[in-house]
Amino acid sequence: MTKALFIIDVQNDFCEGGSLAVTGGAAVATGITELLRSKPSIYDFVIASRDWHDAGNDNGGHFAAVGESPDYVHTWPVHCVSGTSGAEYHPNLDSTLVDFHIIKGMGKPSYSIFEGQTPDGVNLKALLGYLNVTDIDVVGLATDYCVLASSLDAKNAGFNVTVIKDLVAGVAGESSEKALVTLATAGCKIG
């Protein structure tokens, strides 16, 4: 058994004070760091994703058009633009504990970590195969969007998946609870 931790999108723009903040984001960042420091050998690999959107365009309709309000379902405020402080990991997350960094959403909507790649172009599925990963724990932001999509894709790809409920935070309470039910129904463990 080779176990990996997926840290999903724990970025400044998704935490308190960011352009698309999730309540509890900073606490999730702190909790992930505490987990990794207190149990340094629990994971064989730590893999973190970041939205890494293009500047100067709507990223395939992901950003609301200039002068229009986002619908918060398909269109969003400008967030996590590559090279900006909003796209960086939240400071409460110790990124030195991350083995592999995955960027996603370069010019298009991307919710799942499986839509991303390493900065040098290796896609996640190939990386996981090379590392012989069998089990994945998932933490991060947001429960009802990118955690949901990433966890479902991991399960559908044949991995044993556990979502650590205390280390995720969502956009809204009702949709986050629905996401956890969806994940459990799909065969993910909720830990």
Condensed to tens digits (0 to 9), the pLDDT of residues 43-54 reads 999 999 999 999
Residue 170's identity, in one-letter code, is G
Other Cβ atoms closer than 10 A to 45: 18
Task: Find the DSSP H helices in 39-190.
Answer: 124-131, 148-156, 173-185
**Domains annotated on the chain, with CATH:** 3-190 (3.40.50.850)
Report whether 55 contacts 107 (CB < 8 A): no
Rg, the chain, Cα only: 15
Q: Is the pLDDT of residue 31 over 90?
A: yes
Please name which of 51, 101, 58 lies closest in space to residue 81, comparing C-alpha atoms: 51
Q: With H, G, I as helix, E, B as strand and everything else as coil, classify residue 90.
A: coil
Which region among 68-72, 133-137, 141-145, 164-168 has the lowest average model confidence (pLDDT)? Answer: 68-72
Average pLDDT rounded to a whole number, residues 159-169: 98
Its pTM surpasses 0.85: yes
**Catalytically active residues, by annotation:** 9, 104, 146
Query: Mean pLDDT for the chain?
Result: 96
- 154, burial (CB in 10 Å: exposed 0-12, middle 13-18, buried 19+): buried
Judged by DSSP in three states, 100 sits in: strand
